[in-house]
């Protein structure tokens, strides 16, 4: 709703509703899948080290 209001005010960066996508979803969502491997996991696979040794930005407590 907020994006529609911004678009009505002339905001060119406001996100528009994708009517065609919503119409396609009425027929069902196609099977989807994928794989997202982060740099830390890739380094783990290459080096054989654990996540604590390869993580780029460790949590600081």
Condensed to tens digits (0 to 9), the pLDDT of residues 10-58 reads 988 888 888 898 898 899 888 888 888 888 899 999 999 998 888 888 7
Residue 7: CB partners within 8 Å, gap ≥ 6?
A: 14, 15, 16
pTM beyond cutoff 0.85: no
Question: Above 80 in pLDDT, residue 60?
Answer: no
Per-residue tokens: 47 = 């080096």
**8: how many CB neighbours lie within 10 A of its CB?**
9
């Amino acid at each position: 709703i907020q994006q529609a209001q911004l678009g009505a005010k002339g905001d060119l960066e406001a996100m528009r509703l994708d009517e065609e996508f919503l119409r396609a979803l009425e027929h069902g969502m196609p099977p989807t899948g994928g794989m997202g491997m982060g740099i830390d996991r890739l380094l783990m696979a290459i080096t054989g080290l654990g996540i604590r040794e390869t993580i780029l930005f460790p949590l600081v407590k």
